[in-house]
């Protein structure tokens, strides 16, 4: 059944998809509250120095462009085929969009959502019955002062991403011994080795764990630093030795439609051969325990597998993927994939609750911004019960954008 505007929609997370979803909803006349635990685009800012592997044209929508054109005399957007950094994408597109008239007054920064539930019905009640949708959804958020705020709405779109929940480094996905205590001292993101992190990493013994695109990005960046500062040494630990016929552990997607992504994977693998003096690759190895010594800021790491032993490092960078925060959804009726914790379908047993963006993919890191745009289009067609509703469609006769 259609939920007509001006119903109230709470959007959780002001990242790429939260902002676009809020814009879409406002355009259709819904009341929107957009909550973020930090500032707009906070998670993108963490890797602001990294060049995206999809071109700008794939990361923006026709609706977003229209909103910017209506708001600003010269939005000065990058060309569609340009590969901008995450910081440029934020500054030139997402931030101005969040400040545009349609979205600005919906945004509540520094509101961390701790729970989404249904008013007066627990998870165990009315499974699959129409009564389940008859009471509003209640979103509880905490602000920076610790004050709690309750938002009642007809619909919730959870676009809170996965960036806030890095996976554990233990071989089986659970915390390695000592990891919980050591965590605040090691890195889980993208190092700006030629910028703000250069001094911290130069001439250090560095351990990098993982074989995904984030690890590949860090290996490439740290290799440049190691060439320039000769005492820098990187040890790269991966579970696998080689991915699908490659010279190294990073999987290269055959026929990858994104040449920049393919290039990144190949480059990281090749560095194992080219940078043998600065970079050691230790395959078929996992982390058993990690202890941080505050007196000298060293990590003592016990490895298991082919390179078993105890080793000391100055810096540890764990790039072992992310998982969704499901804790805040515990009172909702969800049907998630047992492999990935992602959604199996946009329509969940819980009426009028939708997971969108990277969180909807759970631990599956293949998600792209363009997938989220497609979800937004589909979800508003479902909400409005209008199969052909598509605000991203190009008017007949014009060129084709997202
Ligand atoms: C290094 C890296 C490079 C990538 N490059 C590309 C690329 O080139 N092209 C591409 O298509 N995709 C890329 N991706 C994948 C993906 O598109 C991005 O991660 C994208 O930013 C995900 O968007 P999102 O809106 O789902 O989540 P995010 O952008 O992570 O936004 C989530 C927001 O929710 C907020 N939040 C989290 N928890 C809460 C809470 N409890 N309460 C309130 N707010 C909360 C966060 O502060 C954040 O602002 C990349 C990912 C990474 C990590």
Same structural domain for residues 208 and 352?
no
Q: Which of 305, 236, 248 is nearest to 273 (CA)?
A: 248
Terminal alpha carbon distance of the chain: 28
Protein residue with least CA distance to atom 33, ligand 1: 13
Same domain membership, residue 350 and residue 254: no
- Residue pair 332/124 in contact (Cβ under 8 Å)? The answer is no
pLDDT band at 292 (very low <50, low <70, confident <90, very high): very high
Q: Does residue 151 share a domain with residue 38?
A: yes
| Cβ(18) – ligand 1 distance below 6 Å | yes
Q: Does 388 fall in a domain?
A: no
Q: In this predicted structure, what is the pLDDT of residue 249? A: 94
Statement to judge: residues 230 and 88 lie in one domain: no
Q: What is the pLDDT of residues 319-332, one digit of tens each?
A: 999 999 999 999 99
Domain CATH code at residue 233 = 3.50.50.60
> Do residue 231 and residue 259 come from a single domain?
yes
Cβ within 8 Å of residue 9, ≥6 positions away: 25, 30, 31, 32, 33, 153, 154, 155, 156, 157
Last residue of a domain, one of 269, 284, 318: 318
- Give the structural domain span for 190: 179-318
What is the pTM for the complete model shown? 0.95
How many whole angstroms from 366 Cα to the centroid of ligand 1?
Answer: 12
Q: How far is the CA of 59 from the centre of ligand 1 (A)?
A: 12
Does residue 125 belong to any structural domain of this protein? yes
Within a domain: residue 3? no
CB 214 less than 6 A from any atom of ligand 1: yes
Is 70 exceeded by the pLDDT of residue 402? no
What phi, psi does 386 have (nearest 5°)? -130, 95
Closest CA to 147 of 125, 175, 114, 195: 114
Considering only CA atoms, which residue is closest to atom 41 of ligand 1? 113
pLDDT at residue 307, as a whole number: 97
Residue 195 scores a pLDDT above 80 = yes
Tell me the residue length of the chain. 402
Q: Which atom of ligand 1 is nearest to the CA of 19?
A: 25
Which residues, in sequence order, are bridge partners of residue 282? 237
Asked whether the predicted pLDDT for residue 398 surpasses 70, the reply is no
**pLDDT per residue as tens digits for the range 380-396:** 999 999 999 999 998 77
Looking at 280, 298, 318, the residue that finishes a domain is 318
Query: For residue range 57-105, what is the model confidence (pLDDT) as tens digits?
Result: 999 999 999 999 999 988 899 999 999 999 999 999 999 999 999 999 9
In a domain, 221, yes or no: yes
- How many domains does one find in the chain? 2
- In degrees to the nearest 10, what's the CA dihedral of 203, 209, 210, 216? 0
Tens-place pLDDT, residues 201-260:
999 999 999 999 999 999 999 999 999 998 999 999 999 888 877 778 999 888 889 999
Closest among 163, 223, 158 to 375, alpha carbons compared = 158
Q: Do both 206 and 293 map to the same domain? A: yes
Say yes or no: CB of residue 367 within 6 Å of ligand 1.
Answer: yes
Whether the per-residue pLDDT at 27 is higher than 90: the answer is yes
171 assigned to some structural domain: no
């Amino acid at each position: 059944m259609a939920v007509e505007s001006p119903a109230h929609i709470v959007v959780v997370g002001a990242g790429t998809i939260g902002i676009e979803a809020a814009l879409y909803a406002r355009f259709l006349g819904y009341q929107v509250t957009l909550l973020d635990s930090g500032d707009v685009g906070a998670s993108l800012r963490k890797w602001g120095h990294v060049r995206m592997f999809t071109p700008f044209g794939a990361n923006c929508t026709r609706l977003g462009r229209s909103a910017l054109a209506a708001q600003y005399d010269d939005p000065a957007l990058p060309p569609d085929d340009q590969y901008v950094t995450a910081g440029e994408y934020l500054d030139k597109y997402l931030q101005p969009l969040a400040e545009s008239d349609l979205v600005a007054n919906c945004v509540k920064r520094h509101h961390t959502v701790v729970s989404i539930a249904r008013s007066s019905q627990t998870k165990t009640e009315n499974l699959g019955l129409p009564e389940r949708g008859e009471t509003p959804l209640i979103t509880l958020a905490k602000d920076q002062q610790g004050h709690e705020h309750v938002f009642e709405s007809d619909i919730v779109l959870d676009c809170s991403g996965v960036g806030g929940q890095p996976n554990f480094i233990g071989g089986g996905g659970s915390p390695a011994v000592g990891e919980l205590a050591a965590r605040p001292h090691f890195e889980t993101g993208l190092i700006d080795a030629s910028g703000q992190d250069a001094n911290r990493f130069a001439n250090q013994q560095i351990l990098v764990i993982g074989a995904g695109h984030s690890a590949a990005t860090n290996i490439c960046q740290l290799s440049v630093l190691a060439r320039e500062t000769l005492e820098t040494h990187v040890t790269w630990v991966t579970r696998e030795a080689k991915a699908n016929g490659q010279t190294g552990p990073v999987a290269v997607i055959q026929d990858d439609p994104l040449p920049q992504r393919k290039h990144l994977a190949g480059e990281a693998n090749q560095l194992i051969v080219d940078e043998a003096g600065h970079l050691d690759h230790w395959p078929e190895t996992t982390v058993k325990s990690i202890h941080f010594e505050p007196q000298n800021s060293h990590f003592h790491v016990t490895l298991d597998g082919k390179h078993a032993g105890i080793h000391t490092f100055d810096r540890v960078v764990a790039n072992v993927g992310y998982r969704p925060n499901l804790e805040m959804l515990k009172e909702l009726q969800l049907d998630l994939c047992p492999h990935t914790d992602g959604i199996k379908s946009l329509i969940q047993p819980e009426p009028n609750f939708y997971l969108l963006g990277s969180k909807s993919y759970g631990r599956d890191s293949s998600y792209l911004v363009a997938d989220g745009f497609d979800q937004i289009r589909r979800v508003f067609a479902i909400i409005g019960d209008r199969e052909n509703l598509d605000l991203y469609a190009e008017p007949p006769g014009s060129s084709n954008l997202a």
